[in-house]
Amino acid sequence: MSTLKVTNVKHETSGLNTLVFDNGGTSGGNGRVTTKGTIGEVSALGNLAAGTHTLDFRTANNFSMTLTGNVTLANPSNISAGQSGVLFITQDSTGGRTAAFGSYWDFSDGTAPTLSTGANAVDMIAWIARSSTKISAQFVGNFS
């Protein structure tokens, strides 16, 4: 597979009104590019064992994970101001797992949340990047 990098497409009075991409995306006359298969997808990270994990915000906006140990979600990489999404954090069948967060994560009242601890409990963290180093996050717990 090869990648084509386009640095400039000039459209003045040519007959070009729409670009179509192989993945199903389009670019119309409104200056916006829409790609199929990215809006609304949740990137399943699988089981996260004990340790520090870094999310790459270039790969997705929405993530799901199952904790099999106590984790630290470090400051994500490739953050773009205005980017937003959600994290779905599920306890494994044992439960009782904890999560700590890197310094870029700002929660209400300045306090990181305490996850629901029941076996298979599901929590959600909605977030938006205010800058490349500040993420406003809101915890919503216990969807189980």
* Pairwise CA distance, residues 133 & 8, whole Å: 29
Q: Is residue 14 situated within a structural domain?
A: no
Is it the case that residue 8 has pLDDT exceeding 60? yes
pLDDT for residue 26 is more than 70: no
The pair of three-digit structure tokens given for residue 83, joined into one six-digit string: 């980017």
In the predicted model, is pLDDT for residue 34 greater than 60? no
- Distance set, CA 52 to CA 22, 38, 105, 110, 132 (Å): 36, 26, 15, 21, 20
Alpha-carbon distance 131 to 144, whole Å?
A: 32
Q: Is residue 1 part of a domain?
A: no
The verdict on residue 48 lying in a domain is yes
Residue 92 falls inside a structural domain: yes
Is the pLDDT at 12 greater than 80? The verdict is no
Alpha carbon of residue 30 to chain centroid:
26
Range of the domain at 44: 40-140
Percent of the chain with pLDDT over 70: 72
User: Residue 143's pLDDT is what?
Assistant: 87
Answer whether residue 99 is part of any domain: yes
The answer to whether position 30 is within a domain reads: no
**Arithmetic mean of pLDDT, 17-41:** 56
> pLDDT at residue 7 above 80?
no
Q: Is residue 77 part of a domain?
A: yes
For 15, other C-beta atoms within 10 Å of its C-beta total 5
Please report, for the domain that includes residue 62, its CATH number: 2.60.120
How far apart, in whole angstroms, are the C-alpha atoms of residue 44 and residue 67? 12
Number of domains observed in the structure of the chain = 1
pLDDT of residue 22: 53
In a domain, 8, yes or no: no
pLDDT digits over 48-91, tens only?
A: 999 999 999 999 999 999 999 999 999 999 999 999 999 999 99
